Amino acid sequence: MNNLLDPAILFFGVGVLAGTVKSNLEIPPAISRFLSLYLLMALGLKGGFALSHSGLTASVGTSLGAAVLLAICIPWAGYWMLKRFVSGFDAAAVAATYGSVSAVTFVTAVQYLENQQIAYGGHMAAAMALMESPAIIMAVVFANALRQKAATGVVTVGGGVAALGGPAGKPTVSVGKILHESFTDGAQLLLLGAMVVGLITGDSGKQAMQPFSGDLFKGMLAFFLLDMGLMAARNLPQVKDKSPVLIAYAVLGPVVHASAALGLSWLLALPAGDGALLMVLAASASYIAVPAVLRFALPEANPSLYFGLSLGVTFPLNILVGIPIYVSLAHAVLV
């Protein structure tokens, strides 16, 4: 309940309400882009300042390794499960979306931990960056394999045979090109660059940047969540006619992913704050970076499917109820 009374979350609710009643309230795209870059820069600085105190320890390496493992296992499992119900390309796209991460969900979780005075490692921002790309790469590999099979005729989907929805012999997409785009993406470079700046400057940098990365953070997050509420409400109609299996995946998949992250955190004896953020990352779904890449890399997939599910269903659930539940479970199991 305390999470719902947070001003940032309440502004998300205002955005959802405005979008639902078809208000003309709108955040200009340029302002929305600026807000997202600000949040990533501020988050990177916070992570860098925290790392300047803790240093690159074995615990940091363990957390980052766990993040990469989840980033590989979640999209792999999602693809092999979903392709029993939808085309291979749609399965790859949805699995990539849910195998990657949402920076806004992560930033909201960080703010929630700070409100609850729960300590967390600054290196978890690096974990978020590491978890973004593996799912995209795997989706491209799956799609290329499907195209190769399509070139020979048909491909098995579930228990039967189905067309792939794309022309046979369609050129494959270079994994190298996707790798380059993933690791040179401006938002990701800004996040990692800000972490390096915070790590180098330490306490003096933290004091100098406090008005920017500290005092303004809460208000900027509230403004951005207002925009996200508008987007979520306006994309929810896209999922009304989708398969119940996909709706169930959008609701229950994040719970399963977060549970896997909790179990891994317990096995590795991660601190409660780090485990909570790992759960949030595992449970989140990308609605910015991955859809942008998939439109180019997997044109055969239906954008309204993976974008609508992630932004219209999973994102609101995580913001409104998921984050406090994940944090509570992590605090109960890992403390």
For the chain, percent of residues with pLDDT exceeding 70: 86
Picking from 207-211, 217-221, 266-270, which range would have the lowest pLDDT averaged per residue? 217-221
311 falls within a domain: yes
The whole-angstrom separation of Cα 122 and Cα 85 is 40
308 falls within a domain: yes
Q: What does the pLDDT average to over 322-327?
A: 94
pLDDT for 3: 57
Name the more confident of 163 and 249.
249
7 falls within a domain: no
Q: Measured between alpha carbons, how far apart are the two ends of the chain, in Å?
A: 22
pLDDT for 94: 93
**Residue-range definition of the domain harbouring residue 196:** 30-334
* Confidence band, pLDDT 50/70/90 cuts, at residue 312: confident
Average pLDDT, the chain: 83
pLDDT for 98: 94
* Confidence band, pLDDT 50/70/90 cuts, at residue 244: confident
- Domain CATH for 85: 1.20.1530.20
pLDDT for 165: 42
Q: What total number of domains does the chain contain? A: 1
Q: What does the pLDDT average to over 268-293?
A: 89
Helix 58-82 × helix 244-267 angle, to 10°: 150
The two tokens of residue 50 are 């925290």
Name the more confident of 322 and 191.
322
State CA 140 to chain mean position distance.
Answer: 18
Contacts of 88 (CB under 8 A, 6+ apart): 142, 143, 146, 155, 157, 164
CA Rg, the chain, in Å?
20
**pLDDT (tens digit per residue) in 124-181:** 888 888 888 788 888 888 888 888 777 765 544 444 444 434 444 455 555 566 656 6
What pTM does this model have?
0.80
16 falls within a domain: no
54 falls within a domain: yes
Contacts of 252 (CB under 8 A, 6+ apart): none
pLDDT for 81: 93
Max avg pLDDT among 49-58, 80-89, 177-186, 271-280: 271-280
9 falls within a domain: no
**pLDDT (tens digit per residue) in 21-59:** 989 888 898 888 888 888 888 888 887 887 787 677 788
104 falls within a domain: yes
3-state SS track over the chain: CCCCCCHHHHHHHHHHHHHHCCCCCCCCHHHHHHHHHHHHHHHHHHHHHHHHHHCCCHHHHHHHHHHHHHHHHHHHHHHHHHCCCCCHHHHHHHHHHHHCCCHHHHHHHHHHHHHCCCCCCCCHHHHHHHHHHHHHHHHHHHHHHHHHHHHCCCEEECCEEECCCCCCCCCCCCHHHHHHHHHCCHHHHHHHHHHHHHHHHHHHHHHHHHHHHHHCHHHHHHHHHHHHHHHHHHHHHHHCCCCHHHHHHHHHHHHHHHHHHHHHHHHCCCCHHHHHHHHHHHHCCCCCHHHHHHHHHCCCCCHHHHHHHHHHHHHHHHHHHHHHHHHHHHHHHHC
pLDDT for 257: 96
43 falls within a domain: yes
Cα Dmax for the chain = 63
pLDDT for 128: 85
Quick one: which of 319, 325, 326 has its CA closest to 10? 319
